[in-house]
Structure 1
């Protein structure tokens, strides 16, 4: 193209990649001539081979894509991540750790400059594969060996919310947990093995609850702790109904997500119970829906979008490559005043 237009190759490159280096009229002429002659710009694949950079960031999600895009906390995280990547004109490729097609996964993973791993990544083929790539990795919401992480203070947030709820001296407490055990159904934890604390944020929240309860003189047996396999209304509603029909009926529900808490409020109201008079309910996450219902939800607000921004800045080298623990904030509302 440079020969045909009697300009330098640098001028052609600037027209496509650095428009500030040319006058608007000259750039428009070059682009129009290139289009007329059938040249649509530099080859991205060739450029990535030359520079070793693709301009893509792989976002490895613990759950499938459909779930991650509808979960309000994951959606906020992706929003914060996208804000920073947009500013740097970079793209993100959403990947799921649940993809069983290893050949396709390897191909997709080769198309990115590194990985931001969100949610939880258990050891296995996907974990080993990411390590083998030797690319930059940042973990979010869990600890990954040899990898910088961005977390919120799940333990402190849960403990503070439980301490607040216990000021009114409930008689019976139940905990509605999220993924406390490795199962695909709603269940009580009983003697099941909990996920490793370093791998599961819910276990940290559980420790926050139980430490606050023990300090206040309460003992919550394992059969008063439910675990939901997904953060969905269906599973949460089932767990809430089971808890609220158990004997003795709890007058305080500590819920490990706002979705679980909102389902618990619905279940309680449909059973003719008053919130907070008959049962007080506390959530965790601070999603907007919790403030817009009646009774409004007492919850722990976490900085979901900020987690995404920080993870992106660390990945891009805009922020110190060091672990980040973000504080939470207790929002006291009608469900547990």
Structure 2
């Protein structure tokens, strides 16, 4: 039998209002009273009726998370943390794809099913500010990734350009001078690629190394096979690098495989660095030097910003919170 708020109140010897205050986390409840209510909740295995609560508030209890490609490890790890943080608020997360061309981001930015969700978190490399500026449904939105600064929505930012510059400078500090960059994307939605390439170019300029366009290899997607294909292209083009900055870790894992197949040692012949700090890179051979951001912190900040918008002032100016990136040097650049 499903117990009601009234049953908990009778068991604890308090009013229904007091039980409601405890369940909803109100602070102005005496410690001994709170303890009695919490004990009654545990004894009765009481679970709040979230559907009824959301109905009273005009909410669905569902938020959406939109990302580029759902099987990309970095996005999958972000999604896991978003789901965890949302569950702590009693929310369900609807995950949708938004990438691969202008239509999907436009659809998500326009409102992922009117009145279907209470809010939307837009993951890395998805809608641009222009897409979001055209929304008209009023659903709160939080952007994740990319640089901070004024924008159309709340934003949890990362400085991709500065991080890529640090990773490239690390390669240069090891004596590498022919540093390739793999991962430029042709689609305009992938702002992260442009920012990371800008950081790469800035590090070369700071070191007095001429920018060689032949060392910059575009890819159709950020997958392992694309990283491997890009390295094979470099090796057969006659412009052999002594270091490779891959704009994602998945590209870097493919690059490691192609270098191994070509009989080149990493990092002896070619040093390799990636971006995103996915779990696979900690177990590759060699382990992968990478740029890392605290994805759990990013997810929790995004959920907290969204909660503030859902329950608070939706007309307030957009806010930006920045999570710093850090370089994680490992065997692919330092050796064993």
Q: Where on the TM-score scale, by shorter chain, does this alignment land: which range?
A: 0.7 to 0.9
- Asked whether the equivalents of residues 183 and 227 of structure 2 are also in contact (C-alpha less than 8 Å), the reply is no
1:167 aligns with 2:163: no
Note the C-alpha offset of 1:126: 7.0
8 A Cα contact 2:62 2:116, kept in partner: yes
Q: Report if aligned partners of 1:299, 1:332 keep a CA contact under 8 Å in 2.
A: yes
Equivalence for 1:327:
324
| Contact 1:299–1:330 (8 Å) recurs in 2 | yes
Contact 1:55 1:90 in 2 (8 A): yes
Structure 1 unaligned regions, length at least 5? 1-8, 32-40, 183-194
SS of 2:228 mapped into structure 1: helix
Q: Structure 1 residue 281: deviation in Å?
A: 0.9
1:158 aligned to 147, 161, 164, which one?
A: 164
Count of aligned pairs:
296
Residue 285 of structure 1 is matched in structure 2 by 276
Matched, 1:115 2:120: yes
Structure 1 residue 154 displacement after superposition: 0.9
Q: Is the 8 A contact 1:58 1:109 kept in 2?
A: no
Ranges in structure 2 where 5+ consecutive residues have no aligned partner? 11-18, 24-36
**CA–CA distance in structure 2, aligned partners of residues 220 and 51 of structure 1:** 57
Q: 1:128 to 1:279 in 2, by over 3 A?
A: same
Across the aligned residues of Structure 1 and Structure 2, the Cα RMSD in angstroms comes to 3.7
Separation in 1, partners of 2:219, 2:116: 35
TM-score where L is the length of structure 2: 0.75
Q: Deviations over 1:13-71 (max 9, x none)?
A: 989x968599579969x99xxxxxxxxx9794x7655421111112122x2xxx31x22
Corresponding residue for 1:228?
A: 219
Name the structure 1 match of 2:137. 133
Give the TM-score taking structure 1 as reference length: 0.75
Partner of 2:244: 253
Which deviations, in whole Å up to 9, do the C-alpha atoms of 1:182-233 show, x marking residues without a partner? 2xxxxxxxxxxxx48xx61121111111000011111223332112232211
User: Aligned partners of 1:146 and 1:124: how far apart in 2?
Assistant: 6
More displaced stretch, 264-273 vs 302-311? 302-311
